Amino acid sequence: MFSRAVELTEVNGKAIAVDINENNVAFGSEEHVSNIKSGEKVIRTAYFLKRRRLQSKPRLNEKTLLAKYRGREHRRIEQIYHKLANQIIEEAKELKASTIALEELTNIRKRINRSKELNGRLNRWSFRKLQNIIEYKARLAGLNVKYFNAKGTSSLCPKCRG
C-alpha cells in the first residue's frame, strides 16, 4: 500500500459546493457555477436492459457475458467519475478555494420510496463512489472536504435566491 504526505491548505473561507444528481453534477461558488451532464443515467439504464435481456433466455455463455457487461459498465462509470472529479478540483484551484462542500446523501434510498422504476434507478446510482473519488483527489490536492445536510437546499434558486 502506498501513502503520500499532503499538507492541507488553511481554511480561507472560499469553498466549492458540489451537487451530485443522477444525470448531472453542478459545482461552483457564488461567482461561477458549472453544470456538467454525466450521462450516467443513460449508461446504467442501457446496461440494465442488456442484463435483463440476457437473463430472460437461457444461454450457454450467459455468465461470461454478464461479467463482461458488468466490467464494461463499471469502467465507463469510473472514467466519468474521475473526469468529473478532476474538473471539480481544477475549478477549486482556479478559485483558490480551500474547501469542497459535498452533500450528505446517506439514507437517500430509504427516504425516497416511489415507483418500482425510480427505486431501481436509485439503487443503480453510485453517488457515494463519486463522492469518494472527489474526496481522495481533493485531499491529494491539499483541499479540505466537508459534508453538509442537503435538506432544503433545492428549494431556493442559487442565483436569484427566490
Predicted confidence at residue 9, as pLDDT, reads 64
Residue in the block written with cell 442565483:
159
**Which residues 6+ apart lie within 8 Å of 16 measured at CB?**
27, 28, 29, 88, 91, 92, 95, 97, 99, 100, 101
CA distance 17 to 92: 10
> pTM for the full model?
0.81
pLDDT tens string, the chain, 162 residues long: the values are 555 666 656 677 788 999 888 888 999 888 888 889 988 889 989 998 988 888 888 777 778 888 888 899 999 999 999 999 999 999 999 989 999 999 887 777 677 777 887 777 777 778 889 999 999 999 999 999 999 887 766 665 555 655
Q: Fill in the amino acid letter for 139.
A: R
Domains and CATH numbers, the chain: 15-152 (3.30.420)
The number of beta carbons lying within 10 Å of the beta carbon of residue 64 is: 10
**In the beta sheet, which residues pair with residue 17?**
28, 101
For residue 27, the one-letter residue type is F
**Distance in angstroms (rounded) separating the CA atoms of residues 135 and 133:** 5
List, in sequence order, the alpha helices (H) in the chain: 40-56, 62-94, 108-111, 116-124, 127-140
The single-letter code of the amino acid at 50 is K
